[in-house]
Chains A and B, each alone.
Chain A
Amino acid sequence: MAARPRPTWHDRTCWLLLSLAFGLLLLPRPLRVRLSLPLQTGLLAPLRATAWFRHNLADLTAENRRLTRLASELAVENARLIARGGRSRAQVPPTNLLLVYCPIIGRDMSTLERFLVVSRGTRHGVVAGTCAITAEGVVGRVIAAGPDQALVQTLLDPDSRIAVTNLRSRALAVARPEGRGLTLDYVPDAAGAAPGDTLVTSGLGLVFPKGLRVGTITAVSAPQSGIFRRIEITPFVQVMRIEGVFALVRPGPASEANDWLENLAPAQVEMPLPPVP
């Protein structure tokens, strides 16, 4: 019987590399994000260059950006007006948030819609916890930011949660991703949700400002065993189709970035709106 060949240093190094890859999976999630930030800055730099080239290729792009920004501002204002009971524009205090356009330079390459890498970072005021929107509604929030790029966790990531209000019935709930849409759990039968209702951010949780459009209810299932209904929502934003987002940035010096990493699970970043007079 032939003796089994002894592993060479080549083999051992291969196993070491495979173990290293497996070891990365065992790291705590905040540490994974923290480790990836410097690598992102270096290795994804060409993506920023190609994005810059693409986005400055023609004047049409700039014009489109200006119009999208305008539409986005109007959408935010409109949602805020609706959320505050249809007050006139003059009665609504000016927001203290700025819109910063962030071109998308990379996507989560597994699902293409759970995470977005954008080419704006702390130098532009985009910090962890910043809300990302488009003209259609909420996209997600920034969970980590480097100097020139940031990572946006979309509403479709399984770890994402968003507090919402039903515009018609004013019922509050928390939406979580399911499949390619969102769903509401633990909504009482008496809450009066119906297909076609529009959901906006409730402002609870202090991550998303109040009144941003989230989605529309597409199906409401009757309670099977208990008092809660299960509600399916189609988000207004189709993440697969967007090429850029707007970050809602507070003017002034950027606060300490990546506070989020200290406590990954709950939303800790405060972004209050001005008080309603």
Chain B
Amino acid sequence: MRFLWSLLIIHAAFVIQASLFPVGPDLVLLCVLVFALRERRLFATALGLFAGLLFDLTAPLSLGANALAMATIGYVAASVHPFFYRARWYVIALTVPALVLKHAVGLIAGAGLPPWPILVILGLVTVALSPLVESLLGRIFSRRWQTS
């Protein structure tokens, strides 16, 4: 049930991002990171795969690039989080390498990069928004995460 809710949230974040802020923060990536912080590896990997597939559907010639990148981000983030203290800075610290990984895989797979100025602004806005997203999802899922 929790997985279905998280899928819905990822999909909602994608719809908001794609329809309202195509040139804006990477909300989907932030959601995947926050879930990876709290959930198990399989959960985070599957969620990342789903999120990446959503991105790939907008450019199917590079189908798989974002799916691989996001699934890897989910897997790695969920794998390393037991070694860190669960604080808000954790999401902030992970956002930058996650963005780099996502765009690097996309570039290697031929999905391309947005123009550099936009990329930098997107990165900064995404990092700035990460505590907000973490806090918001933390409130929504607080009871479930406390009981799990």
| Residues on A facing B (Cβ under 8 Å) | 10-11, 13-14, 17-18, 20-27, 29, 32-33, 35-37, 39-40, 43-44, 46-47, 50-51, 54, 105-112, 114-115, 117, 144, 151, 153, 157-159, 180, 240
CB closest residue in chain B, given A9: B42
B71: Cβ under 8 A from any A Cβ: yes
For residue B66, which residues in chain A have a CB less than 8 angstroms away from its CB? 109-110
Pairs A–B under 8 Å by Cβ, sample size 9? A17-B45, A17-B71, A21-B71, A36-B63, A40-B60, A108-B58, A108-B112, A110-B65, A240-B23
Q: With CB as the reference atom, state the residue of chain B lying closest to A25.
A: B64
Give complex CA distance A162, B124 in Å: 37
CB–CB B45/A151 < 8 A:
no
CB-contact partner of A21 in B40, B41, B68, B112, under 8 A: B68
Beyond A14-B41, A18-B75, A109-B22, whether A25 also contacts B65 by CB under 8 A is yes
Main secondary structure, interface of B, reads helix
What separation, in Å, do the CA atoms of A35 and B60 have in the docked complex?
A: 9
The total of Cβ contacts below 8 Å across the A-B interface reads: 139
Give the residues in chain A near B75, CB-CB below 8 Å: 14, 18
B65 touches A111 (CB 8 A): no
Question: Digit string of B115-127 for contact with A (CB within 8 Å is 1, else 0)?
Answer: 1001000000000
Known: A10-B40, A32-B60, A46-B19. 13 other contacts (CB 8 A): A14-B41, A14-B45, A17-B71, A21-B64, A22-B64, A36-B57, A43-B57, A50-B20, A106-B58, A110-B55, A110-B59, A111-B111, A240-B23
CA distance A220 to B72 in the complex (A): 44
Q: Are A33 and B15 in contact (CB under 8 A)?
A: no
- A10, A26, A108: most-surrounded residue (chain B CB, <10 A): A108
Q: How far is the CB of B88 from chain A (nearest CB, A)?
A: 26
Decide: A44 near B57, CB < 8 A? Known: A21-B49, A35-B63, A110-B62: yes
User: Which of B17, B42, B58, B75 gathers most chain A CB within 10 Å?
Assistant: B58
Q: Shortest Cβ distance from A116 into chain B, in angstroms?
A: 9
Binary per-residue interface labels of chain B (58-84) against chain A in the complex, 1 for a CB within 8 Å, 0 otherwise: 111111111110011001000000000
Nearest-neighbour CB distance to chain B for A268, whole angstroms, equals: 17
B46 CB within 8 Å of chain A: yes
| Known contacts A46-B11, A114-B112, A109 near B55 by CB under 8 Å | yes
Contact B60 A111 (CB under 8 A): no
Which of B17, B20, B41, B62 has its CB near the most chain A CB atoms (within 10 A)? B62
Interface residues of B in 1-48 (CB under 8 A from A): 11, 15, 17-20, 22-23, 40-42, 45-46
Partner of A17, one of B19, B46, B61, B103: B46
With contacts A47-B18, A110-B114 taken as known, whether A23 is within 8 angstroms of B64 at the C-beta atoms is yes
Top 5 nearest A-B pairs (CB, nearest first) are A24-B64, A36-B60, A108-B59, A25-B64, A32-B63
Q: A110–B113 contact, CB under 8 A?
A: yes
CB distance from A19 to the nearest CB of B (A): 10
- The 8 Å CB contact of B42, one of A10, A37, A107, A240, is A10
Residues B115 and A180 in contact, CB atoms below 8 Å apart:
yes
- Name B67's closest neighbour in chain A (CB-CB): A21
Interface pair B22/A112, CB less than 8 Å apart: yes
Q: Determine the chain B residues whose CB is within 8 A of the CB of A27 once the complex forms.
A: 63-64
Please indicate the chain A residues that have their CB under 8 angstroms from the CB of B49 in the complex.
Answer: 17, 20-21
Given A18-B72, A22-B64, A24-B64: A47 touches B19 (CB 8 Å cut-off): yes
